[in-house]
Amino acid sequence: MIAILLMCNISTSIAQTNLHELQANFVDLRFGAMMHFNMGTFTDEEWASPNHDPKQFNPTKLDCNQWAEACKSAGMTYGILTTKHHDGFCLWDSKYTNYDVANSSVKKDVVAEYVKAFRKQGLKPCLYFSIWDRHNGVENGGPKEEEFVMNQLTELLTQYGEIPMIIFDGWNWKMGHRLIDFQKIYNHIKKLQPNCLVAEHNGNSPLQTDVIYYEGPKGVYPPGNNNYPSQMALTLTNGWFWHPAAEKQVKSLDYVLDKLQRVVPLYCNFMVNIGPNRDGLFDEEVVARLKEVGTRWKPDLTRLPLPKQGAALKNYIRAKGIEASTGKVFIEPSGPADDGTPVASLLNQKTASVMIDGISDLVGDRGGFAAFQTYWKFSDEKNSSLVLDLGIAQSISKFYYLPVQLKGYIGLITKYELLVSDDNLNFRQIKTGNWNKTSDLKIADFEPIKTRYIKLRILSAVDEAMVSEVGVGN
């Protein structure tokens, strides 16, 4: 067993801060490092196969202090470490799997060393965690799989002190938030560490995330009017993980400075992704580039504070089912699904359930950088509607609608009516309203009401209405 400092019940010693203050403090960090360091480092894979020999993980010169010092020299304020990628190998000694550092050639708790080294330099240590775990069978959801995820998150959030943020991957875009329940995981994190922000790969809206993550290599950048707390990462070399010849492919000083100047003013932290090499070190060329950045970039402290955020849901209620008037599933761009894709089932959806699958936005296929999205397009411009079935009568006070992204005004619902029913036959109106012509997440508030069914009637839209995601909550 790897010796670590156990800090149980950490949430009892941390005073809870309101969400907007946490978000404002986070975007004031401005500049950080994402570090992809895991089994793929040693197998020359961006997505490592899930059943490698753990002993292949062998960073004989591992020095997280070197990482932290290099990041500090660049003017960075925080880091994010890949504690577990899609193959399931854990950089800590997890008692819920043998696929971890305790069974590697170098029996070191990398998470513990990273956290200690970054704190020593005054940098905030954040964590990356892939929900999609191909080694341990977390691919199609289920109670046992949720329990496994929660158990591992308990380890990460009780053994290493205060963690300012955890960012998830392989969830929104691979399985969706239905198969591994978002609200259950979110509540678990906030119980353990109430001030730990929750973020998600492939985000472009504040739907089910505290901080939006714009994945730069897929071409997803913050819009010019972005006021959401957010962050974006781009790789400093030729991939997320270290690959042979990486030291020869370090991007220029001007490349990094350009992104800092473009992104940070938009309340979007910029992260340089660095892949430590097989020795467990940053390449010398990377260290030199980071030091150069530090001599040229200084944060602009005159930026106005993060604006007050709009209406948001604190609790999402997972709909049991959905019915919709005539329409069709669209996948754009079409044709990326084939026998080899890890998201073939997502891309082959045919029913209205595409609107409640928890896949809320632009996602990437096969580890590549091409973005695509799935949505429902209604066929009848005059009589379009959908009905959510909550399974049992539940109290709700908000309805949300995420428009299709990157389509301009096309498909936007501009006027709506909400109705509720206990039997899916007799509906009564609870609200009508208008939504503005933007692709931002829309939220309709109403007095709390207990119901099983809620209907959205589309009274007007720009051309045929299109919906990426809908749902209810409080």
Q: 335-349: per-residue pLDDT in tens? A: 544 445 666 666 678
Q: Flag whether pLDDT at 156 surpasses 70.
A: yes
Domain boundaries, the chain: 10-296, 316-473
Class of residue 88 by CB neighbours under 10 A (exposed 0-12, middle 13-18, buried 19+):
buried
Distance between CA atoms of residues 267 and 276, nearest Å: 28
**pLDDT value of residue 139:** 85
The per-residue pLDDT for range 285-317, each reduced to its tens digit, is 999 999 999 999 999 999 999 999 988 899 999
Distance between CA atoms of residues 376 and 349, nearest Å: 10
Distance between CA atoms of residues 317 and 397, nearest Å: 11
Distance between CA atoms of residues 343 and 179, nearest Å: 14
Residue 322 confidence class, pLDDT cut points 50, 70, 90: very high
Mean pLDDT score, 388-403: 97
Q: Flag whether pLDDT at 121 surpasses 50.
A: yes
The per-residue pLDDT for range 212-248, each reduced to its tens digit, is 998 888 777 888 899 999 999 999 998 999 999 988 9
- The alpha helices in 129-263, defined as continuous H runs, are 143-158, 182-192, 253-263
Helices (H) and strands (E) in the chain, counts: 9, 19
Q: What is the DSSP letter of 218?
A: G
Class of residue 224 by CB neighbours under 10 A (exposed 0-12, middle 13-18, buried 19+):
exposed
Tokens representing residue 438 in the block:
């933007």
Residue 361 confidence class, pLDDT cut points 50, 70, 90: low
Tokens representing residue 394 in the block:
């539940």
Q: Which amino acid, 342? A: P
**Residue of 165, 198, 177, 197 lying closest to 400 (CA atoms):** 177
Mean pLDDT score, 365-379: 69
**pLDDT value of residue 173:** 82
Percentage above 70 pLDDT, the chain: 91
Distance between CA atoms of residues 454 and 424, nearest Å: 8
Tokens representing residue 349 in the block:
């959806």
pTM: 0.92
Mean pLDDT score, 162-172: 95
Mean pLDDT score, 371-395: 90
What is the torsional sign of CA 412, 400, 21, 436?
A: positive
Distance between CA atoms of residues 378 and 382, nearest Å: 10
Q: pLDDT: is 310 or 204 the higher one?
A: 310
Q: Flag whether pLDDT at 12 surpasses 50.
A: no
Instruction: Write down the CATH number for the domain with range 316-473.
Output: 2.60.120.260
DSSP string, 48-107: --TT--GGG---TT--HHHHHHHHHHTT--EEEEEEE-TT--BSS--TT-SSBGGGSSS-
Q: Flag whether pLDDT at 362 surpasses 60.
A: yes
Phi/psi for 429 (5° steps) reads: -75, 140
**pLDDT value of residue 9:** 46
**pLDDT value of residue 13:** 52
Tokens representing residue 389 in the block:
């079935």
Q: Flag whether pLDDT at 200 surpasses 80.
A: yes
**pLDDT value of residue 341:** 60
**pLDDT value of residue 350:** 87
Class of residue 173 by CB neighbours under 10 A (exposed 0-12, middle 13-18, buried 19+):
buried
**pLDDT value of residue 312:** 87
Mean pLDDT score, 433-455: 96
Distance between CA atoms of residues 90 and 108, nearest Å: 11
E-strand stretches of 131-266:
165-169, 197-200, 212-215, 230-235
Q: Flag whether pLDDT at 363 surpasses 70.
A: no
**pLDDT value of residue 334:** 59
Residue 366 confidence class, pLDDT cut points 50, 70, 90: very low
- Domain range 10-296, CATH architecture: Alpha-Beta Barrel (3.20)
Q: Flag whether pLDDT at 406 surpasses 90.
A: no
27-60 burial by CB neighbour count: b if 16+ within 10 A, else e?
A: bbbbbbbbbbbbbbbbbebbbbebebebeebebe
**pLDDT value of residue 6:** 43
Tokens representing residue 416 in the block:
């709506």
The per-residue pLDDT for range 51-93, each reduced to its tens digit, is 999 999 999 999 999 999 999 999 999 999 999 999 999 999 9
Mean pLDDT score, 100-122: 97
**Residue of 316, 166, 296, 298 lying closest to 231 (CA atoms):** 166
CA–chain centroid gap for 443, Å, is 20
Q: Which residues neighbour 450 within 8 Å (Cβ) at sequence distance 6 or greater?
A: 393, 394, 395, 396
Distance between CA atoms of residues 21 and 45, nearest Å: 39
Residue 371 confidence class, pLDDT cut points 50, 70, 90: low
For the ranges 109-113, 333-337, 349-353, the lowest mean pLDDT is seen at 333-337
Query: In the beta sheet, which residues pair with residue 377?
Result: 328, 466
Query: In the beta sheet, which residues pair with residue 396?
Result: 449
Distance between CA atoms of residues 55 and 350, nearest Å: 43
Q: Flag whether pLDDT at 332 surpasses 50.
A: yes
